[in-house]
Amino acid sequence: MTTADLSPAAAKAALRGQIRHVRRDRSDLERAHAAGSIAARALRLLADSSLIACYVSMPTEPGTAALIDLLRQRDIRVVLPRVNGDVLDWVELTDATHFTTSGLGILEPDGPVANDALAECNAFVLPALAVSREGIRLGQGGGFYDRTLESLPAKADGGPVRIALLFDDELVDSVPHESHDARVDQVVMPERVVSF
């Protein structure tokens, strides 16, 4: 049986497992190099922004710490997510922000909720396990980002540009998907940027 024989949900789960396995096997040096390269490439796209929604990366994901630092050095405001039930609350990052580890093992910011800030964001930098050549994003499976993006207009309708961060081998020909799966406008990888 191949993933083409599975339901979309089962095929997505199988692909997630494959990508997570590869990510776990990456060396710390490869991860650090990828994070620096991604930060530099993403900054070129985001340099004229005033407010960015981003995320705090997990250890095996393409790192976001360098990008967040570069944005803040340029006085670009950053909001970060915190899980609240089955939705994400957004907290603006400041010098006084403290972080706690959630039940999901994710570093989350403490502080007042700034959900209205999403409407002002120039860009939404989001995690992905893979993105297809049509811009369809495969997330971790919780649906948090898909639900958040449902409430925001697409870039063509005046919404923020949606940017996924990936390792170079995670831009794939296709990903199994369902109608609720969010599309992205751009993918930033260590060696290139792809727009859809």
Answer whether residue 153 shows pLDDT above 60.
yes
**pLDDT, mean of residues 56-83:** 96
Q: Which helix (H) or strand (E) holds 64?
A: none
pLDDT of residue 14: 93
Sheet architecture: strand order including 51-53: 87-92, 77-84, 51-53, 123-127, 161-165, 186-188, 193-195
**pLDDT, mean of residues 8-15:** 90
Answer whether residue 169 shows pLDDT above 50.
yes
Answer whether residue 161 shows pLDDT above 50.
yes
Report the C-alpha gap between 52 and 20 in whole angstroms: 27
* 8 within 8 A of 155, measured Cβ to Cβ: no
**pLDDT, mean of residues 121-145:** 94
Residues shown for the chain: 196
pTM of the model as a whole: 0.92
Residue of 167, 155, 180 lying closest to 130 (CA atoms): 167
Least trusted range by pLDDT, from 3-7, 49-53, 128-132: 3-7
**pLDDT, mean of residues 27-45:** 97
Compute how many other C-beta atoms are within 10 angstroms of the C-beta atom of residue 80. 24
Answer whether residue 1 shows pLDDT above 60.
no
**pLDDT, mean of residues 182-192:** 95
pLDDT of residue 4: 57
* 72 within 8 A of 43, measured Cβ to Cβ: no
Residue tagged 């705090």 (tokens) = 56
Answer whether residue 3 shows pLDDT above 90.
no
**pLDDT, mean of residues 22-27:** 97
**pLDDT, mean of residues 119-146:** 94
